[in-house]
Amino acid sequence: MLQSTDGHASSHFVTSAGKRSAISMKSILSFVVAAVLAFTIFSCSKTEVDSIDPNGTGGLTLEFDNYVGGTNMALGTAQYKNTAGESFTVTTFNYFVSNIELTKEDGTVVKVPNSYYLVREADPKSLNVALTGIPQANYAKVAFTIGVDSLKSQAPVTERTGALDTGSYGTDNMYWSWNSGYIFMKLEGISPASTISGKAFQYHIGGYGGGFQGAARTANNLRKITLSLGSTSAKVRAATTPTVHLIVDAAKALGGTNTISFATTPTVHSPALAKPIVDNYVNMFVVDHVHND
């Protein structure tokens, strides 16, 4: 059985076949043969996906492609406009992606253990999150948390390694030392509308809902994002490492549910104040397409 591995080729195939539904069996057969031939010749991706080894594992890559509206993100130079009509440039765009879950076509959920990644626009390597040891299957959904869960936010220092190493950030800090916790999302830039020094704006979003002795807890800005992979499932096999290409629109953090103005809110540095941005940024991730190669 031949399986299409390319989303576009696959959808053309279905549409074309549908138009010919009233035509004779012979015609259909010859069309199928032609389509298969054309597909085989013109498709640049691999046409065969090996079968699932029920005990086997493979890899899957999440590619985070940062945009501002319809325009690719370029730090420092590119001019953008927010929904308040204020122009701006972006100097920093970082976020934590954690607790990744993949849902198989049959609904089984696979949790990727100890998955904590820091995506930084300034660090191209970080834009591709390569997961390994994933059970071979066809996956229909991906889910993750923006930020660092409360358990890990309170974990011993010896368990804070990799992206969670508080000593690894340097001047591009992703950790609040005065109110212990990670900065889940950081969006900084320059806007003529800003009212603070250097016309800067700084949005540092954190807050894991930490509590203490039954007293008030800090705001909980942890959000889980669940995304369908659409018509093309991610087919994890021994020799196939699918890439889920996500478009991440930073402009959505600034508008949508709540309009964020650089003039009225040039900085956010605490959990409760961050909520309007959190309510926006839950909508900034979209799955664009899946490559099974």
Smallest gap from residue 170 Cβ to another protein (A): 4
Q: Is 167 in the site for another protein (CB under 8 A)?
A: yes
Helix or strand holding residue 253 (H, E): helix 251-254
Reduce the DSSP state of residue 280 to 3 states and report it.
helix
Does residue number 197 form part of the binding site for another protein (CB under 8 A)? no
Binding segment for another protein among 4-12, 42-50, 164-172, 193-201 (CB under 8 A)? 164-172
Tell which positions 206-225 bind another protein, by CB under 8 A.
Answer: 210, 212-213, 215-219
Alpha helices per DSSP H over 20-84 = 25-42
Q: Which 271-290 positions form the footprint of another protein (CB under 8 A)?
A: 271-273
Query: Which of 53, 164, 58 shows the shortest CA–CA distance to 110?
Result: 58
12-13-17 Cα angle (round to 5): 115
Q: Are 192 and 199 in contact (CB under 8 A)?
A: yes
Does position 270 interact with another protein (CB under 8 A)? The reply is yes
DSSP percent split of the chain into helix, strand, coil, nearest 5: 20, 35, 40
Q: Using the rule CB under 8 A, which residue among 10, 83, 168, 220 binds another protein?
A: 168
**Considering the rule CB under 8 A, would residue 157 count as an interface residue with another protein?**
yes
Q: Which is nearer to another protein, 179 or 228 (by Cβ)?
A: 179
Which residue number, 77 or 213, has a Cβ lying nearer to another protein?
213
Distances (CA, A) of 155 to 159, 168, 208: 6, 17, 13
Exposure pattern of 41-70 as b/e (b: 16+ CB <10 Å)?
eeeeeeeebeebeeeeebbbbbbbebbbbe
171 lies in the site for another protein, by CB under 8 A: yes
Establish if 27 lies at the interface with another protein (CB under 8 A): no
Which lies closer to another protein via its Cβ, residue 70 or residue 170?
A: 170
Is 177 a binding residue for another protein by CB under 8 A? The answer is yes
> Which residues sit at the interface with another protein, rule CB under 8 A?
154, 156-158, 160-161, 165-171, 173, 175, 177-180, 210, 212-213, 215-219, 270-273
